[in-house]
Amino acid sequence: MTREPPAPTPPPFELVCPAGSLPALRAAVEHGADAVYIGFRGATNARNFPGLNFSWEEAATGLAHAHAQGVRVFAALNVYPGPDNWALACETVDRAAALGVDALILADPGLMAHAAQHHPELRLHLSVQGSATNWRAIEFYRREFGIRRAVLPRVLSCTQVERLVARTAVEIEVFGFGSLCVMVEGRCALSSHVTGHSPNVQGVCSPAQAVRWEETPAGRQSRLNGVLIDRYAPGEAAGYPTLCKGRFEVGSAVFHALEEPTSLNALDVLPRLIAAGVRALKVEGRQRSPAYVAQVTQLLRRALDDCLADGPAWRPPQDLTTALDGLAEGRTHTLGAYHRPWQ
């Protein structure tokens, strides 16, 4: 009888990288990820794009490859299913557990209850879509459903993260690199106002069927369900259209009225996050290419290893910051809410 290999043992601090496809998973594994997170095809996760996510056969292949390299695999089922797809969501939980994933990333309390009842041995992680921003909320999910880790929304300062970590036994995972959103994760209603599809239910804030690209005398432009989102000058990089990062006419000016495209880069506060007791650094980007995943994983692996070796005195070298800026949205970065020196 063949024995399954034991699950990988996590390091004290994990680098958790995105894998929207099997090639991206391999790229993350081979370039230094401690864990990868995946989603299954269909409206069960928050990156429900055509051509993205895993079939069950691909997931089994990816899981075997990751485990052979000592890398854990987390599966995101982080939408809030309704009556029409509740059975599918529960079936996905059951099949993911049978597949042998190392953790499920969940947002919906009903799915947590299902998982806790039927798969008590399976690790549950509270998704960022659960929008838990204080220790009492996290302790509720631990007490009721036995979650082992919570992914924090990107709205907390370093001081708030430190205070939260000190008051819960639940492992805390924070975002370290990737695109930002002006909304609090799990509470966005902006895109559903235009498309009629909730990102928390259908799993995508700009459904592919609502996106249109047009070549006009005024330049290339993008629309979301008929609403003009942006217009680009010749040679200007055009990002995937989302309402929060569009350019709009306000008074007599046209600019990024809600949020200018930029990427979160937390390396400047990485020593502080580690010292606070944060357990994992997460990279956003399951919709990104395998090449992007490989580059970002390799750069963050270097940063994390050097930081763990040097301790609180470590500072990100300029070449590392420059390389990450070259991969960042808008070719620039921010500390976002982490940097609130008045707190």
Could you tell me where the beta strands, DSSP code E, fall in 96-252?
A: 103-106, 124-126, 149-151, 171-179, 211-216, 219-224, 227-232, 248-250
Residue 76 three-state SS: strand
Give the separation between CA 278 and CA 286, rounded to whole angstroms: 22
Evaluate whether 49 touches 287 at the Cβ level (below 8 Å).
Answer: yes
Distance of alpha carbon 99 from alpha carbon 91, whole angstroms: 12
Mean pLDDT of 221-245: 86
In which residue ranges of the chain is CATH 3.20.20.70 found? 14-180+262-338
Q: What is the pLDDT of residues 88-116, one digit of tens each?
A: 999 999 999 999 999 999 999 999 999 99
In this prediction, residue 203 carries a pLDDT of: 65
Note the pTM of the prediction, 2 decimals: 0.89
Q: Scanning the structure block, which residue is given the tokens 């990485």?
A: 270
Task: Give the tens place of pLDDT for each residue, 106-151.
Answer: 999 999 999 999 999 999 999 999 999 999 999 999 999 999 999 9
Pick the CATH number of 14-180+262-338 from 1.10.510.10, 3.20.20.70, 3.30.470.30, 3.10.20.600: 3.20.20.70
The whole-number average pLDDT for the span 149-158 is 95
**pLDDT above 70 as % of the chain:** 96
247: left (phi over 0), alpha (psi -120 to 50) or beta: beta
3-class SS at 271?
helix
* pLDDT score of 221 more than 60: yes
Cβ–Cβ under 8 Å, residues 241 and 222:
yes
What is the structure's pLDDT at 1? 40
| Contacting residues for 140 by C-beta, under 8 A, at least 6 apart | none
